[in-house]
Amino acid sequence: MSSEEELKKAQIVETRARNVSHNVRCTECGSQSIEDSQADVAILLRKLIRDEIKAGKSDKEIYKKLEDEFGETVLYTPKFDMQTAALWLSPFIIGGAATGIWAYQRHRRKTNVHIMALNLIRGVPLTPKERETMLDILTPPPSPMRKMQSWG
């Protein structure tokens, strides 16, 4: 029975070690986790992680130790703090800016059409670009029936 328990403990250690290793960047390769890398430093880090797990350390303690020794870049998921806030929030900032630009341009285009219409009423001549824009807006799209009749 004790060999079964030892086997289970070894499997648990191995599973935890692999999980932790997948979340740690190889300091030599940079683009691979230490689990996937065959660099000497990756092999040593995998051994260190297994030793720490066998010593009873939690995953959080192991990540903290690796971060203290190698810096925050060793972890694939940097923590959220003031230094990394721009990194975490940049997709939302870029998306918001793009949406704002799109909304502004859409509003401006509608406003320009209204101004062009008022200018037409007032007798102000349109520029060639304004004339083209007005024709694009005022020309109705071809009806589906007309397209079908032209095929036949």
Structural domain that includes position 28: 9-74
Mean pLDDT of 23-37: 83
Helices and strands of the chain, counted as H and E runs:
6, 0
pLDDT in the model for residue 96: 94
Domains contained in the chain, number:
2
Mean pLDDT of 44-59: 90
pTM higher than the cut 0.75: no
* In-domain check, residue 2: no
Distances in whole angstroms, Cα of residue 97 to Cα of each of 102, 103, 105, 109, 110? 9, 10, 12, 18, 20
* In-domain check, residue 142: yes
* In-domain check, residue 39: yes
pLDDT digits (tens, 9 = 90+) for 84-134: 777 778 889 999 999 999 998 887 766 677 777 788 888 888 788 878 877
